[in-house]
Amino acid sequence: MQEQAVSKQLDENIAWWKQQFSDCADIKMRPMCLGRDMSIRAFLSYIEVTGGKNMMEDSVLGKMLNRLNVMEPQQVYAVLQENGLGVSDVTPFAQMSEAAGGMLTGDSILFVDGFDRALKIPDKGYPGMSLQKTESEKAIRGSNEGFGDSIKQNTALIRKRLRSVDLKVAECKCGRRTGTNVDIMYLDGIVRPEIVTQMQQRLAAFEIDGIGDSGVIEQLTETQWFSPFPQYQTTRRPDRAVMALLEGRAVLLADNSPEVLIFPTDYNSFIKTTDDYYTRWEIATFTRTLRYVAAFLSMILPGLYLAMTNFHTQLLPTKLLLSFAAARQGVPFPGVVEVLLMELSFELLREAGVRLPGAMGNTIGIVGGLIIGQAAVDANIVSPMVVIVVAFTALCSFAIPNEDFATAFRLLKFVFIGLSAALGFYGFLLGLLILLIHLAQLESFGMPYLMPFVGADLNDYRDERDSLVRPPLQALTHRPFYANPKNRVRLRMKYKDR
């Protein structure tokens, strides 16, 4: 966009504006006059959907212009110079390109003859979806309020729950064409300053045409992009974002995206849920342990089945082995083909269920799975045991709270199938070894991915208390290792029972 300073000559500003926004039918340009005697020429521009028919009567902009219309000319200039009407968020721009960018955020731009600043005046803004319920992150207890598409609305949802002057918002723009607003929120004094600085450096390290969702930022700022494990935690729950901020982490919000990025993160954080801290510690520990076991089984169960039945049958009880052999009689395919056929069929059903709307998607997932599985067994294409293994594997993957994290196990499942089918139990153990080595060297903003299972001594072993077992809240007196070392204490008991 051509650079030009805002001129005191209104005609020069209008000519530049009309040249830049030529052939833009949705950009409205309205000449008008201000002052008691209507002697001051002005020019107002806005995007059609952001103005509305009753703009001059009901909005902040309309009330401001109506006030200016009853003032003397010299008084008008003084009021504009010092924002004498006290209108919130009125921003003066010295450059025409800045004024154009301000209008494209959904506000109105006012030029006044003889005044060398363009004024961005808040207006109705772009239309957007209202608050939604969190469908992807179900919780037994706690708020069901979810993030929407508006970044301003999303930051307000966090401030609604975290009413602290230490909550800071660093704003920037990403996308050369889209100019998407991006906010980094953090608690000053609790977050490690280098984490926020590193995130800002990563955002400044690339230039792209457009940012359609926070997922684009996630991919462009990951340092180990080859890993199937996400290095950001995503959430649509404001209470989950607030919980992360209180732990000493930071969150990134992108306009037009309900997905918020939490960083840094680790393996343990993906297994936790918000209602782990809203319910009693006994049931929270039980359900968290179930999730850990489910995550492991969702990755290794089909491969372990193939290793046992194809290579190491001596490890199975005789009766169970005979049962497996009887079930496989008449099946024309080897075990690996059976497993791959059923796994790919289930993945196809899952993808179809996601893409189909509403109740139809749920129906095809349940009915399709039942019909295909039963028909395959009746036709002797697969054995009943393979259907049970695949179904149980899918059930385990659904127990993982974070969808991005669960996707990593869905992909690794096929790696373990291939290794176990080729090398048996040795291939299975080789896969586990490579996986552990990869997780041990994986980091998220300098934090070990396997915290608190590695490096627990860095925080006096306090992080281990909130890992596989969720202790009583009275024992969680310190923030995790993410937090600033100078401000680790988060709970002090003022009174103790005698």
pLDDT of residue 362: 61
Q: Which residue, among 455, 434, 433, 432, has the nearest Cα to 443 in the 3D structure?
A: 455
Fill in the DSSP letter of residue 276: G
pLDDT of residue 363: 63
Fill in the DSSP letter of residue 443: E
What kind and span of H or E run contains 247? none
**Cα distance between residue 54 and residue 487, in whole Å:** 51
**Cα distance between residue 217 and residue 171, in whole Å:** 14
Contacts 24+ apart (CB under 8 A), 71-74: 71/34, 71/35, 71/36, 72/35, 72/36, 73/35, 73/36, 73/37, 73/39, 73/40
Question: What are φ and ψ of residue 450, in 5° steps?
Answer: -95, 15
Report the chain's terminal Cα–Cα distance, integer Å: 71
pLDDT of residue 327: 75
Q: Which residue, among 334, 325, 318, 404, has the nearest Cα to 136 in the 3D structure?
A: 404
pLDDT of residue 64: 73
**Cα distance between residue 155 and residue 153, in whole Å:** 6
Residue 28 to residues 58, 106, 258, 273: CA-CA distances in angstroms?
18, 12, 30, 48
CA dihedral (99, 102, 103, 107) positive or negative: negative
CA dihedral (465, 469, 470, 471) positive or negative: negative
**Cα distance between residue 471 and residue 285, in whole Å:** 8
pLDDT of residue 498: 44
Sole residue written with tokens 């899952």: 350
**Cα distance between residue 308 and residue 320, in whole Å:** 11
Residues paired with residue 262 on neighbouring β-strands, in sequence order? 233, 251
Residue 489 to residues 67, 180, 247, 456, 476: CA-CA distances in angstroms?
52, 37, 10, 17, 9
- Digit-by-digit pLDDT tens for the chain (498 residues) are 567 888 889 999 999 999 888 888 888 888 988 888 888 888 989 887 765 544 555 566 676 777 777 787 777 777 777 764 555 567 888 899 888 888 887 788 989 888 888 888 876 666 666 666 777 777 778 788 889 888 888 998 999 899 888 999 999 989 888 889 999 999 999 999 999 999 999 999 999 999 989 999 999 999 998 999 999 999 999 999 999 999 999 999 999 899 999 999 999 999 998 888 998 999 999 999 999 999 999 999 999 999 988 888 887 788 888 887 877 777 788 888 989 988 988 888 888 877 776 666 666 666 676 677 777 777 778 888 888 898 899 889 989 999 899 999 999 999 999 999 999 999 999 999 999 999 999 999 988 999 888 876 666 667 677 888 888 888 888 888 888 888 888 888 776 554
pLDDT of residue 287: 93
